[in-house]
C-alpha cells in the first residue's frame, strides 16, 4: 500500500521486451555470479561444502528465533527453526560450518509419547535454517514438536495435520494476518492470536518491510541504541534480508504465534521491494539489477518461512502459489499476485481507469497461474473454495461521484484479469467462493458482485480483508474516508481501520468471519476486541451480521 511509482508506465509490448531482456541479461551478464550466490542445491551426499561444528560447542542458545510449522498435509507436517546464538550478527553467531540438529514429534506437550524423531543438518549456505518434512503421520491430529542442538532445547511448538482426503470435517477456523512493520508498533495482536483457538494461520503478505529501522525500533520507542546500526538502511542484499528476518523473529509475540499454530504463508511486495511488479522495480531501474535483489529476497524468504521443498527458490524465481485441502470442507488456492503481474498502469497509485488498465492482455496472476487456479476449481470437490492472496479483489471506489479513481496496485488495476477469474469460477460451478486478502491495513468485508457497477447484480462470493498487525500505526475505527468508501461501495459491508487480525470459521452450513482489533500498537498491552462478526451461508453468497 504505497505512493505512486516514480516513473510512468510503459506500453505492454515494451514491458514484455524489458522483462525478456532483463532475464537474458541476468542469465548472461550476471549469470555466473548469480548462480554462485543464489544456488539452492545442497551439497551432494558425501561431498559437504562445509565442515561440521560439534553442537556441544555452540557458543550460546541457538534457538533465539523460535520455531514454526507450516503447510499441513493429511500425513505430513513441515517443521522450521534457525540457529542464531547472536541474531543481530550477519553470521548469526556461528561459523560457516554444518550443525546437526535433533528433532522430535509427540502426541503430548510433555513429549512422553514421541511418535517421530530424527536429525537434520543446518547448513551455513542457508544461514543455518532447518526445514524438516515429517511424514507417515495420522490425519487430523495435533502434534507437538521441538529441536535440540548440543545442550540446548528449543521452545516447543504445536502443529497439526490436515484431515484425510475425502473426509468431511465438521469445521475449521482460520486466523488471517498481514502487514507487520516492525518499526510501527508492537505485535500485540500476535500475542492474542497465539492464545486464540484457530487451526491454521494464513499470512497474506508483508511479513517484513524493507525500510530502515533505527536504533530505537521506530515507534516502539526502545531505549536509544537498543538495535545496531546495521538495520538502519533499506534491505538490498542477501545479508540485509536475512538480518531483517532475524530482527522480526526476535519479537516474542511473533514467536509465540508461530509456536502455537501452523502457518500458510504468501508474500506481497515488501518482502522484496514496495510495489514491484515481476521484474519491474519501484523506481523502474535496470531489470537485471532488480532480479539480483529479488533473488536475494526470495532466498531469504524461503530460508525463514515454514515452506516445503517445492518452494525452494532458483535464482530470482520461486513458485509460491500452491494448493492445500481440508478434507472436502475446503480447498485453498494460495496465490502469488506479485511475481507474475503486468506493471501497474498509469504509473501506479490511485488513478482513473482507462485503456491501459483495461487492456485484456494485462494480468495480475500470469497466464499459467490463472489456468492453474481455474483448472483446480474444475476438479474441486470442496464445499468452500478459498483463495488466500494479497491485494484487494473487490472493486473499491474512493469517490461518491463518477468517474472514481481506483487502486492500480489492486485487482481494480487489472479488471480483465479479475473478470477471467470470476468467469472461471462460474464455469467451474463454484458456489462458495471466499477470497482472503491483506495489504491495505484495514478490515474490510465485501460481497463479491457479478457486476460491481450494478449493486443489484448477483453476489457470487465473499472477500474478507484483514487489517495489519502494526503497519500504519495505531489507526482508528473510522478512518477519515469511512463515509466515502461505505457510500461509494454498497457491496462493502464493513470497514474498520484499527490494527488486529481476523478469524474465519468454515462449517457445513455457514462461514463466520470475526474482525478483531486492538486499540493501540505504539505501546504494549492493548486488549483484544471483536469489532464485528458476519456470516455467509453455504449456497447463498452474501454477508449478514452474525
- Half-sphere exposure of residue 24: CA atoms within 13 angstroms, side-chain side: 6
Whether the CB-CB separation of 219 and 185 falls below 8 Å is answered with: yes
The 10s digit of each residue's pLDDT in 149-179 is 999 999 999 999 999 999 999 999 999 999 9
Helix 238-249 to helix 252-260 angle (10° resolution) is 80
Closest CA to 201 of 504, 495, 405: 504
Provide, rounded to the nearest whole percent, the portion of the chain with pLDDT above 70: 91
> Is it the case that residue 190 has pLDDT exceeding 50?
yes
Query: Is the distance from CB of 343 to CB of 300 less than 8 angstroms?
Result: no
Alpha-carbon distance of 171 to 509, in angstroms, equals: 10
C-alpha dihedral, 38 to 129 to 267 to 252, nearest 10°: -150
The 10s digit of each residue's pLDDT in 385-419 is: 999 999 999 999 999 999 999 999 999 999 999 99
Distance, in Å, from the CA atom of 340 to the CA atom of 243, rounded to the nearest integer, reads 27
What number of other Cβ atoms are within 10 A of residue 86's Cβ?
A: 15
User: Is the per-residue pLDDT at 19 higher than 60?
Assistant: no
- The yes-or-no verdict on residue 40 having pLDDT over 80 is no
Given a cut of 80, whether residue 189 has pLDDT beyond it is: yes
**Residue at grid coordinates 468471519:** 513
Q: Which three three-digit cell numbers place residue 336?
A: 502469488
| Integer angstrom CA distances of residue 178 from 32, 86, 212, 436, 500 | 36, 27, 19, 11, 9
Q: Write out the H or E segment, with its range, that includes residue 188.
A: helix 188-195
pLDDT at 50: 73
Q: How far does Cα 410 stand from its chain's mean position?
A: 16
Report pLDDT for 39: 52
pLDDT tops 90 at residue 35: no
> What are φ and ψ of residue 459, in 5° steps?
-85, 125
- Per-residue burial over 312-323, b if 16 or more Cβ lie within 10 Å, else e, is bbebbebbbbbe
Q: What global pTM score does this model have?
A: 0.93
Instruction: List, in order of start, the domains of the chain with CATH numbers.
Output: 12-16+163-545 (3.60.21.70), 55-160 (2.60.40.380)
DSSP-derived secondary structure letter, 380: -
Alpha carbons within 13 angstroms on the beta-carbon side of residue 451 total: 5
pLDDT at 26: 42
CA distances, 492 to each of 217, 223, 312, 370 (Å): 35, 42, 38, 26
Of the candidates 248, 249, 231, the residue with the CA atom closest to the CA atom of residue 240: 231
Instruction: Supply the mean pLDDT for the chain.
Output: 92
Q: State yes or no: pLDDT of 5 exceeds 80.
A: no
Mean pLDDT within 453-482:
97
pLDDT confidence of residue 27: 43
pLDDT band at 335 (very low <50, low <70, confident <90, very high): very high
Summarize pLDDT for 346-375 with one digit per residue, the tens: 999 999 999 999 999 999 999 999 999 999
Contact 463, 489 (CB under 8 A): no
Rounded to whole angstroms, the Cα distance separating 159 from 150 reads 24
Amino acid at each position: 500500500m504505497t505512493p505512486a511509482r516514480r516513473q510512468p508506465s510503459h506500453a505492454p509490448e515494451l514491458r514484455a521486451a524489458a522483462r525478456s531482456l532483463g532475464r537474458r541479461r541476468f542469465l548472461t551478464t550476471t549469470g555466473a555470479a548469480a548462480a554462485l550466490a543464489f544456488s539452492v542445491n545442497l551439497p551432494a551426499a558425501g561431498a559437504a561444502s562445509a565442515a561440521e561444528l560439534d553442537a556441544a560447542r555452540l557458543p550460546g542458545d541457538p534457538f533465539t528465533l523460535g520455531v514454526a510449522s507450516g503447510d499441513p498435509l493429511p500425513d505430513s507436517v513441515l517443521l522450521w527453526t534457525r540457529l542464531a546464538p547472536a541474531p543481530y550478527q550477519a553470521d548469526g553467531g556461528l561459523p560457516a560450518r554444518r550443525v546437526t540438529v535433533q528433532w522430535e514429534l509427540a502426541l503430548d506437550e510433555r513429549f512422553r509419547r514421541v511418535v517421530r524423531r530424527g536429525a537434520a543438518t543446518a547448513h551455513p549456505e542457508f544461514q543455518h535454517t532447518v526445514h524438516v518434512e515429517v511424514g507417515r503421520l495420522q490425519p487430523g491430529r495435533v502434534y507437538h514438536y521441538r529441536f535440540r542442538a548440543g545442550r540446548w532445547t528449543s521452545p516447543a511448538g504445536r502443529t497439526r495435520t490436515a484431515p484425510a482426503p475425502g473426509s468431511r470435517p465438521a469445521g475449521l477456523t482460520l486466523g488471517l494476518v498481514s502487514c507487520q512493520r516492525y518499526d510501527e508498533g508492537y505485535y500485540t495482536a500476535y500475542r492474542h492470536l497465539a492464545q486464540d483457538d484457530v487451526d491454521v494461520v494464513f499470512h497474506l503478505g508483508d511479513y517484513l518491510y524493507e525500510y530502515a529501522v533505527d536504533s530505537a525500533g521506530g515507534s516502539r520507542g526502545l531505549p536509544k541504541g537498543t538495535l545496531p546500526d546495521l538495520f538502519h538502511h533499506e534491505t538490498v542484499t542477501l545479508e540485509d534480508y536475512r538480518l531483517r528476518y532475524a530482527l522480526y523473529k526476535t519479537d516474542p509475540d511473533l514467536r509465540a504465534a508461530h509456536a502455537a499454530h501452523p502457518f500458510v504463508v504468501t508474500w506481497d511486495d515488501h518482502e522484496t521491494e514496495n510495489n514491484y511488479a515481476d521484474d519491474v522495480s519501484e523506481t523502474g531501474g535496470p531489470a537485471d539489477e532488480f532480479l539480483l535483489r529479488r533473488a536475494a529476497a526470495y532466498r531469504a524468504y524461503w530460508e525463514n518461512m515454514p515452506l516445503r521443498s517445492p518452494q525452494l527458490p532458483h535464482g530470482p524465481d520461486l513458485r509460491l502459489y500452491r494448493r492445500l485441502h481440508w478434507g472436502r470442507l475446503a480447498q485453498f488456492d494460495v496465490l502469488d499476485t506479485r511475481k507474475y503481474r503486468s506493471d501497474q498502469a498509469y504509473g501506479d497509485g490511485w488513478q482513473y481507469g482507462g485503456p491501459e488498465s483495461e487492456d485484456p492482455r494485462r494480468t495480475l496472476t500470469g497466464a499459467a497461474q490463472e489456468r492453474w487456479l481455474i483448472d483446480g476449481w474444475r476438479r474441486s470437490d470442496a464445499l468452500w473454495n478459498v483463495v488466500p492472496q494479497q491485494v484487494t479483489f473487490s472493486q473499491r471506489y474512493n469517490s461518491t461521484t463518477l468517474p472514481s479513481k481506483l487502486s492500480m496496485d489492486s485487482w481494480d488495476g487489472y479488471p480483465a484479469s479479475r473478470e477471467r477469474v470470476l468467469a472461471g469460477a462460474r464455469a467451474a460451478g463454484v458456489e462458495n467462493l471466499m477470497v482472503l486478502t491483506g495489504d491495505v491495513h484495514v478490515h474490510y468485508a465485501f460481497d463479491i458482485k457479478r457486476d460491481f457497477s450494478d449493486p443489484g447484480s448477483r453476489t457470487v462470493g465473499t472477500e474478507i480483508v484483514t487489517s495489519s498487525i502494526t503497519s500504519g500505526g495505531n489507526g482508528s475505527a473510522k478512518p477519515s474516508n469511512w463515509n466515502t468508501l461505505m457510500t461509494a461501495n454498497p457491496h462493502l459491508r464493513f470497514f474498520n481501520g484499527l490494527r488486529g487480525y481476523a478469524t474465519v470459521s468454515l462449517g457445513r452450513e455457514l462461514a463466520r468471519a470475526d474482525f478483531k482489533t486492538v486499540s493501540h500498537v505504539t505501546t504494549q498491552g492493548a486488549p483484544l476486541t471483536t469489532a464485528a462478526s458476519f456470516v455467509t451461508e453455504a449456497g447463498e453468497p452474501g454477508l449478514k451480521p452474525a
